[in-house]
Homo-oligomer: A and B are copies of this chain.
Amino acid sequence: MRQDSLHSPAELLIHIEQAIKETKYPSQPASLYEPISYIMELGGKRLRPIMLLMASELFNGTVKAALPAAMAIETFHNFTLIHDDIMDNAPLRRGKQTVHKKWGTNTAILSGDVMMVEANKHITEVHADVLKAALDTFNATAQGVCEGQQLDMEFESRDDVSIAEYLNMIRLKTAVLVGGAMKLGAIVAHACKEEADLIYQFGESLGIAFQLQDDILDVYGDPEKFGKQVGGDILSDKKTYMRLKLQELASADDLNQLDGLKHDGDKVNKVTALYNTYNIREEATAIMKKYLDDAFAALEKISVDNSNKEPLTMLANQLMFRES
């Protein structure tokens, strides 16, 4: 029987937004702390903390006990956005100026640093009997995300990235944080190690599927609904799964054409046409579904009533059939 105490993602979002609003940073030095409030209030779907709270509720944990971990994950995630935007020289984030454009690179580095400390402060607020386990998972997650970002940067200047390397990079850069968030939810709900590892597997596999779906939407998304510029990955020659698969399958002639498109004004359409020729969308969808199957297989193994898994199953399906 499904617990009555399960909250919907929309209800959990309200708890998270409330906790963000209630988090107080020191007032001085203003230019150190203003960027933290700024990026935390830029919005976003708050998917990671929502999934952390859902994982906690799956194991009968309370929102209250899980909120410090949820805040730690959301604060850490936003810290990585500040530093990633410096490294990517990105002018905009969610339609607004990035922190380094608004306050300068030095302040953005340092605000990010102190934001990581704020994330660390949140995680210390979990119950004492799960503190060490929560810290271990939080630190391993943070480390993985840094490794993923480093690999992502390195791949830009490499011509020999394999599909396996790409999948490992998105695992580290994106999926480890989803898995880590859900494992933290399980830990603060006092789930046993095996169950915590299974929900981690669910989150990590879902995170990889999510990123592959993002890669597909970047090419095939509806420009009216997709939040970013369609074809952005193609324009920047990003070595996504789709691009690497095309390079694997394309004829010598098509590979030559691809190499010649560097600054072609019609590059997006021409590369998309090559994707169509080689059924790259179907290839990418198939591997995305494989990861989604892996995710559900892990969820299946968790020993709680199936009806309690419904909210997570629903959310996962929504994420996979989204248009933005």
List residues of A whose CB falls within 8 A of some B CB. Answer: 26, 28-29, 31-32, 83, 86-87, 106-107, 109-110, 112-114, 116-118, 120-121, 124, 128, 131-132, 135-136, 139, 142-143, 146-147, 149-151, 153-154
Given contacts A117-B143, A131-B132, 8 further A-B contacts (CB under 8 A): A83-B110, A106-B153, A107-B150, A114-B143, A114-B146, A114-B147, A118-B143, A121-B139
Q: Which residues of B contact A87 (CB under 8 A)?
A: 106, 109-110
Knowing A114-B147, A124-B132 touch, does A29 contact B154 (C-beta < 8 A)? yes
Contact in complex: B128, A132 (CB < 8 Å):
yes
* A147 in complex: contacting residue of B29, B136, B146, B147, CB < 8 Å: B29
The complex places the Cα of A143 from the Cα of B28 at a distance, in Å, of: 12
* A124 in complex: contacting residue of B118, B136, B142, CB < 8 Å: B136
Knowing A110-B83, A149-B110, A150-B32 touch, does A117 contact B142 (C-beta < 8 A)? yes
**A31 → chain B closest CB, angstroms:** 7
**A147 → chain B closest CB, angstroms:** 6
The complex places the Cα of A135 from the Cα of B116 at a distance, in Å, of: 14
The complex places the Cα of A14 from the Cα of B107 at a distance, in Å, of: 37
**A90 → chain B closest CB, angstroms:** 13
The complex places the Cα of A237 from the Cα of B122 at a distance, in Å, of: 40
Nearest CB to that of A104 among chain B residues?
Answer: B153
Nearest CB to that of A148 among chain B residues?
Answer: B29
The complex places the Cα of A58 from the Cα of B238 at a distance, in Å, of: 57
Q: Which residues of B contact A132 (CB under 8 A)?
A: 124, 128, 131
* A113 in complex: contacting residue of B32, B118, B146, CB < 8 Å: B146
* A150 in complex: contacting residue of B110, B118, B131, CB < 8 Å: B110
Contact in complex: B83, A109 (CB < 8 Å):
yes
**CB pairs A–B below 8 angstroms (20 shown):** A29-B147, A29-B150, A32-B146, A83-B110, A83-B113, A86-B109, A87-B109, A109-B109, A114-B143, A114-B147, A116-B116, A117-B146, A120-B120, A120-B139, A121-B143, A124-B132, A128-B132, A131-B131, A131-B132, A135-B135
The complex places the Cα of A131 from the Cα of B133 at a distance, in Å, of: 12
The complex places the Cα of A120 from the Cα of B141 at a distance, in Å, of: 12
**A223 → chain B closest CB, angstroms:** 31
Contact in complex: B139, A117 (CB < 8 Å):
yes
The complex places the Cα of A205 from the Cα of B113 at a distance, in Å, of: 25
Q: Which residues of B contact A31 (CB under 8 A)?
A: 150, 154
Contact in complex: B110, A146 (CB < 8 Å):
yes
Q: Which residues of B contact A116 (CB under 8 A)?
A: 113, 116
Nearest CB to that of A25 among chain B residues?
Answer: B143
**A136 → chain B closest CB, angstroms:** 7
